[in-house]
Amino acid sequence: MSELIRLEGISKVLKGQKEPRTILDGVDLTVRAGESVAIVGRSGSGKSTLLSVLGLFDRPDSGTYQLAGRDISRLRERHAAKLRSSHFGFVFQRFFLLKHLTAAQNVAMALINGQGWLPRRERRTRVMRALEQVGIEHLAKNRPAKMSGGEQQRVAIARALVRDPRILLADEPTGALDTETGSIVISALQEATTRGCALILVTHDRDHAARMGRILDLQAGILTERAPALSVNGPTAQLPSLGGPA
Ligand SMILES: Nc1ncnc2c1ncn2[C@@H]1O[C@H](COP(=O)(O)OP(=O)(O)OP(=O)(O)O)[C@@H](O)[C@H]1O
Ligand SMILES: [Mg+2]
């Protein structure tokens, strides 16, 4: 599969009131299409900062960032915003759904903001496909208040998927969910990798990390790759199936 992301020597320094603090310290990372990568590490180790650099919300202070072969290390915000909506999908611990809109309308919002108004019919097709991809098409007309936490998070994932991102960035997407529901949400994210999307998952949950193809450890801004676990069937062997109410 083709290389999507290449970080080389990425550093991020916070210039606070006192001493500057190094948050990311020479991070190297390569991610290919269809790969799933877990980023683990203690609170404050820089995981969310790394995701915000990857997702072009923030620029590195040094190092290079190549996206699909193009150097984007020093991109202006206008171009960064375009790349964000064309290449990335974001999922966070909080679902950030609009409560007065249905599931389908929440997902459709991503299309309106990112690509102008698509014809109504195409919009509907894409929204329903995204809801199907996370197994909640039957909830299309429900509002968030009538959904479980796992269902709401799957709406948020559908909203991230509806623009066909090449990279999904998820920052503790199961942090607000119980174990079983969290597992279903991880399956929904992982499913996107079967269509060639790369998944980068920040998680505190060891079991969820173990289901990714690779595990990277961030400690005080230094990223190291863990040796792959020995598994006959590979990391995606025993996934709970999607679908059905959570
Ligand atoms: N805007 C900011 N201003 C000041 N310090 C910040 C800011 N953002 C992050 N930091 C600091 O940078 C460090 C890394 O933060 P980051 O949010 O990336 O950690 P994290 O690994 O995501 O932690 P957690 O697991 O708690 O979410 C922390 O020490 C944090 O206090
Ligand atoms: Mg964080």
Q: pLDDT-derived band of residue 113, with 50, 70 and 90 as boundaries?
A: low
Task: Report residue 180 as tokens.
Answer: 């079983």
Res 231: pLDDT: 53
235 has pLDDT over 90? no
Closest atom of ligand 1 to CA, residue 46: 18
| CA-based end-to-end distance of the chain | 33
Strands 214-219 and 3-15: unpaired
CATH fold label, 3-225: Rossmann fold (3.40.50)
Q: Give tens-digit pLDDT for 63-102.
A: 999 999 999 998 999 999 999 989 999 999 999 999 999 9
131 has pLDDT over 50? yes
Query: Rounded CA gap, 181 and 104, in Å?
Result: 21
- Check pocket membership of 152 for ligand 1, CB cut-off 6 A: no
Among the ranges given (1-5, 24-28, 78-82), the one the predictor scored with the smallest mean pLDDT: 1-5
The ranges assigned to domains in the chain are 3-225
Q: pLDDT-derived band of residue 238, with 50, 70 and 90 as boundaries?
A: very low
* 157 alpha carbon – ligand 2 mean position (Å): 18
To the question of pTM greater than 0.85 for the whole model, the response is yes
